[in-house]
Amino acid sequence: MRHSSLLALVLAAFVAASPRAQQSAAVPGPSRPDQPIFRLSVSLVQLDVVVTDRHGRHVTTLGPDDFVVYQDGRPQQVTAVSYVDAAEDWVDTSNLPPLPIESLRPRDARRTMAIVVDDQRMSLDSLAHARYGLGKFAQREFRAGDLAVLVTTSGSGRAPVLTFSPLVLKAAIARLGYSLWGVRGASALDPITDVRALSDGFEGFQERTFAVSSLERVNAVIDVLKELPGRKSVTLVSEGFSVFGFGMDNQLIRDYLRRLVDHANRAGVVVYALDPRGLVVTGISAADSVNPTRSGEVAMMRSAALRDSQDGLKYLAGETGGFAVVDSNDLAGGMRRIVTDQNGYYLVGYQPDVGSVRTDGSGRYMKLKIKVKPKGLRVRTRSGFYANASE
């Protein structure tokens, strides 16, 4: 962002320009005209919102009178609502000879998605599940016009390269393997020889260090996506990270998560999370060397540790308008839910109360909540924003 306009200081990632508004006539072929990326005016805030019914299906027929927006608990005036259909906006060329992949531009993308595999903190079983599930996704769900990239947390620091090619994506997924260079952070679900190992101070420090390293990788991917138009997504495939530290102070991770959420919201990036562990057995097993009389204590502590690690995933996803897929052995099905969620969204614009959005860099958190009047519907959007000057 440039500092060329005072009005572009606060909510840069909350204003997604509608593709429809940029199209006055049908566009031949799959290429679409350039679209604005994300803009701001303190007199208008525009949010990307997903509304689903009780079966998880997108609801596409709502209008301005159906939405109620609250900023810091105060109702705001909804000025405009439009639905952006990614499938409809992409011109169907199935009856035409396919265009070379290299002729497409990132701005032509139907859906833009990044997949971050947290392999440096992942068990061999989880890595195998991730490779299988992502492979099924690339084979069945990756469509013409989809723009994607897959990166690993143990990989190099080079900038990720997005691709329209399903072959490139499949090859990247097939190369996923256990990193000999990455040192996996200790997990409270690992086999133990003593209950005290669950709260070992050094292992907690190690876990925090590698968790922040993984989140920094997500941050770098968001940097790549932020200049692209429309609603983008990052799917973090991870065994999670402890927010509360399982009895220890994890302020470092909490602070970094807050900054990461703010960065994603400003960049117009929705974060989803996918736990490759599936359904986890938290009781003692043959791999543990623990007195059987303490099995209940072990199971309780492991259950708490599992919930804590999943809470980190849920927080990151929920604060940016996405969701976390946990406790499911169907990783490919989870990816299908995530990709389907990107098929369309509402742009809901509202006028904030005069003086309610400050541009003095105070960093005050502005809570957002959106409700719909029809009953039985669920709404997802960003939970708020920090009133900071944009970078």
- For residue 298, the enclosing domain spans 109-338
- With respect to residue 156, please indicate whether it lies within any of the assigned structural domains: yes
Same structural domain for residues 300 and 273?
yes
Q: What is the pLDDT of residue 319?
A: 93
pLDDT at residue 295, rounded to an integer:
65
Q: Do β-strands 111-117 and 232-237 pair in parallel, antiparallel, or remain unpaired?
A: parallel
333 and 346 share one domain: no
Answer yes or no: is pLDDT of 41 > 80.
Answer: no
For the four alpha carbons of 316, 322, 324 and 330, in that order, the dihedral sign comes to: negative
Same domain (yes/no): 208, 303: yes
Indicate if 281 and 359 belong to the same structural domain. Answer: no
On whether residue 48 sits in a domain, the answer given is yes
121-134 residue pLDDT tens: 888 889 999 999 99
Which are the contacts of 378, defined by CB distance < 8 A and separation ≥ 6? 51, 52, 53, 54
């009133």: which residue's tokens?
A: 387
Structurally, how many domains does the chain consist of? Answer: 2
Residue 41: inside a domain: yes
Residues 313 and 369 in one domain: no
53 or 204: whose pLDDT is higher? 53
**Whether residue 115 is found in the same domain as residue 261:** yes
Highest mean pLDDT among 34-38, 263-267, 355-359: 263-267
Does residue 199 share a domain with residue 285?
yes
pTM of the model: 0.78
386 or 350: which leads in pLDDT: 350
pLDDT tens by residue, 323-353: 999 999 999 999 999 999 998 999 999 988 7
pLDDT at 235: 97
State phi, psi for 129 to the nearest 5 degrees: -65, -40
The confidence score (pLDDT) of residue 274 equals 96
- Closest listed residue to residue 321, CA positions, set 378, 361, 376, 364: 378
38 band by pLDDT with thresholds 50, 70 and 90: very low
